């Protein structure tokens, strides 16, 4: 005659009983060990209790700073999407008024992003500053096709993601190749005598 015996700390197979150690999770809501959370450990040795290290609670001031940083990054993301749309409008604009409206909208969005620049990395901030310098005072209705394409490419591929130093160098090369004067912010505009 064969029988199966079930033991509280083991698994029974036929006449043989294999010992399996059980870990019990201590739940704070129940105030004691709960067999509901038993986890069999098949190591064959007794496992000691380990004290779990709980994360420190986030202070209210840290939480508000964290949430403000997240909100700023989300707002920058929305502004970048509108900038991408504006650069596409500028690229495809046939009418000088449409080109001017798209360019001025892009410049105002860059200024708005500059106001909350601390939410992004330093290379991104430098690129936004460079674009503001290059586009301030620019006549968008007479902007060359190469410059329009460079701006659209920049918003499409570089600025919308995390900008590294390599990306910044690539952006500077792209803008310089398109014909933008990168030293514009350093020089003083001398009026022409005609």
Return the structure tokens found at 111: 């200024």
Burial pattern 15-39, b for ≥16 Cβ within 10 A else e, equals eeeeeeeeeeeeeeeeeeeeeeeee
- Per-residue pLDDT, 185: 61
Closest CA to 160 of 92, 79, 102: 79
Under the banding of pLDDT at 50, 70 and 90, the label for residue 182 is confident
pLDDT at 3: 47
Please give the structure tokens belonging to residue 68: 């403000």
pLDDT given for residue 138 in this prediction: 85
CB 10 within 8 A of CB 29: no
What does the pLDDT average to over 68-97?
Answer: 91
CB 99 within 8 A of CB 143: yes
Q: What is the C-alpha separation between 14 and 3, in angstroms, rounded? A: 6
pTM confidence score: 0.62
Predicted local confidence at residue 137, as pLDDT: 82
Q: What is the pLDDT of residue 29?
A: 55
The pLDDT of 10-19, averaged and rounded, is 51
Q: How far apart are CA 84 and CA 12, in angstroms?
A: 67
Give the domain ranges of the chain: 64-178
Residue-wise pLDDT for 45-79, tens only, equals 555 555 555 555 666 677 777 888 888 989 999 99
Q: Report the range of poorest mean pLDDT among 3-7, 78-82, 190-194.
A: 3-7
Mark out the alpha helices in 22-121 (DSSP H runs). 60-92, 96-115
């Amino acid at each position: 005659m064969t029988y199966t015996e079930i033991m509280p700390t083991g698994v029974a197979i036929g006449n043989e009983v294999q010992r399996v150690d059980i870990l019990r999770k201590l739940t704070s809501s129940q105030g004691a060990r709960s067999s509901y959370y038993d986890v069999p450990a098949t190591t064959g040795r007794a496992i000691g209790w380990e004290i779990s290290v709980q994360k420190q609670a986030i202070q209210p001031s840290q939480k508000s700073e964290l949430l403000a940083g997240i909100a700023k990054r989300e707002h920058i993301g929305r502004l970048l999407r509108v900038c991408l749309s504006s650069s596409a409008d500028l690229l495809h604009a046939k009418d000088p008024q449409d080109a001017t409206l798209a360019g001025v909208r892009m410049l105002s969005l860059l200024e708005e992003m500059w106001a909350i620049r601390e939410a992004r990395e330093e290379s991104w901030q430098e690129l936004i500053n460079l674009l503001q310098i290059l586009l301030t005072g620019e006549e968008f209705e007479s902007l060359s096709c190469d410059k329009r394409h460079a701006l659209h490419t920049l918003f499409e591929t570089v600025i919308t993601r995390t900008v590294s130093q390599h990306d910044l160098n690539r952006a500077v090369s792209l803008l310089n190749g398109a014909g933008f004067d990168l030293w514009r912010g350093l020089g003083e505009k001398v009026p022409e005598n005609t």
